[in-house]
Amino acid sequence: MRTIRCAFWIFLSVWNASAFGADARRDCAIEGEVMHWIADYCMLSLQTDDEIAASDCINKALDRSFDNECLAKRHFKGAMCEMLVVNGTRTGSTRQCVDDSTFQGKTVRNKGVGGSGPGKPPVTR
């Protein structure tokens, strides 16, 4: 059931990507979709690359409320940066990491789990 709920939310986030409005997304310095940042955050925190294994975390994160899409992305990117700085995987400060536009998780970079991204052909079915 949790997998179905997670899949539903992923579908909904892609289908309704403009929920916060195009202007909010355009003005945000953090690229990517909120759902992708959530997936990357959960997979990093659980140290897995399996979105099914991360589904409980993803569902819990989806229950959080933010004033806009940019604040949500900043929150999850910041949490990822904090984890990496604290454990010594990333040098510098959490703020430097958040401000680094090249720092993205695999899901954000590939525009989805298993999606096409730089150097990957589009997924066709």
pLDDT at 4 over 80: no
Check if the beta carbon of residue 123 is closer than 8 Å to that of residue 116: yes
- Give the 3-state secondary structure of residue 10: helix
Answer yes or no: is 124 within a domain. Answer: no
Quote the domain boundaries for residue 80. Answer: 2-14+31-109
Answer yes or no: is 26 within a domain. Answer: no
pLDDT at 9 over 60: no
How many domains does the chain contain in total? Answer: 1
Answer yes or no: is 102 within a domain. Answer: yes
- The C-alpha angle 72, 75, 76, rounded to 5 degrees, equals 90
Check if the beta carbon of residue 118 is closer than 8 Å to that of residue 111: no
Residue 34: name the closest of 79, 83, 85, 86 by CA.
Answer: 79
Q: So what's the pLDDT on residue 22? A: 46
Q: Which residue has 């289908």 as its token pair? A: 15
The 10s digit of each residue's pLDDT in 54-107 is: 999 999 999 999 999 999 999 999 999 999 999 999 999 999 999 999 999 999
Note the pTM of the prediction, 2 decimals. 0.73
Helix, strand, coil fractions of the chain, as percent rounded to 5: 55, 0, 45
Q: Which two tokens stand for residue 70?
A: 């940019």
Answer yes or no: is 72 within a domain. Answer: yes
Q: So what's the pLDDT on residue 116? A: 52
